[in-house]
Amino acid sequence: MGQQIGIIAGSGEVPFMVLEEAKKLGYICAVAGIKGEAGLGLKDKADVFEWVDAGEILKLVSFFKKTGVKEAVFAGKVDRRVIFKREKFNKASHQLLSQVQDRSPTAIIKTIIDFIEKEGIQIIDPTVFFASSFCQESILTETRPSLEVEEDIVFGWKIAKNIADLDVGQTVIVKDKAVVAVEGIEGTDEAIKRGGRLAGKEIVVIKVCRSFQETRVDLPAVGLGTVKSLAEVGGRALCFEAQKVPFFQKEEAISLADTNRISIVVRKS
């Protein structure tokens, strides 16, 4: 019998990828699916499965303890706007998060990880399960960035890194060397759509890591959904950080980008 691992599953394809790879490595997978986020298909693929609300931290810990889990990973996205939905949090979870001095992603994540680990469940870095999704510095598409796009990337890169380290967001949308949108609590895809509404076509999207990134749970990523959002607004380029921001559903995303004359650029810090 293999080693147990817990998967705290949010939205998107990442939980499925982590689950599939963990099974290949011989793990017995106990999946806690976040209600309203996790894909329904996870229940059939997991060895053990339980639905939990985003604010049911004690239920999550209880599920893992009951199934013998000593190590767990976070996989997929959870809408950060949930912190404003008090009805999603039971009394114990509300009391836990009330100890947080601010509601920044880093502060909330640290509080949750510390609590889970004090309960005897170690939160591990999930990147071992999708190491192949990281990219070297390169241009991934046949569509090459124009000189104007390259200038927007250089202009926006430093700004994106600074904004990320302020713990605000990790995506900046630029056009003609002007920042037209910064990712907030709504997430990357919605920030792209907002940037398109504000500046029209030809926007450039830049996504980076923080200098102090907590990769165990707060890893920025791009993928097919990112390119779809960019295509919807007539964007020109997606640029993300080499070896630090994973790129999911790579082949489909590159194909869609080339169809829509979008450049995908991977850049080093």
Is residue 80 over pLDDT 70?
no
Query: Which residues contact residue 111 at a Cβ distance below 8 angstroms, ignoring those fewer than 6 apart?
Result: 96, 97, 99, 100
* pLDDT over 60 at 66, yes or no: yes
Question: What's the pLDDT score for residue 1?
Answer: 46
The percentage of residues in the chain with a pLDDT greater than 90, rounded to a whole number, is 70
pLDDT, tens only, 240-262: 999 999 999 999 999 999 999 99
In b/e form, how buried is each residue of 56-93, taking b as 16+ CB within 10 angstroms?
A: bbbbbbebbeebebeebbbbbbbbbebbeeeebbeeeb
Place of tokens 């949108």: 181
- Tokens 């994106």 correspond to 160
Evaluate if residue 83 carries a pLDDT over 60.
no
250-259 and 224-232 helices, crossing angle to 10°: 20
Q: What structural domains does the chain harbor?
A: 4-129 (3.40.50.20), 134-267 (3.40.140.80)
Beta bridge partners of 77: 11
Q: What is the pTM of this model?
A: 0.85
* Whether 48 contacts 31, CB under 8 Å: yes
SS3 109: helix
Over residues 96-114, mean pLDDT: 73
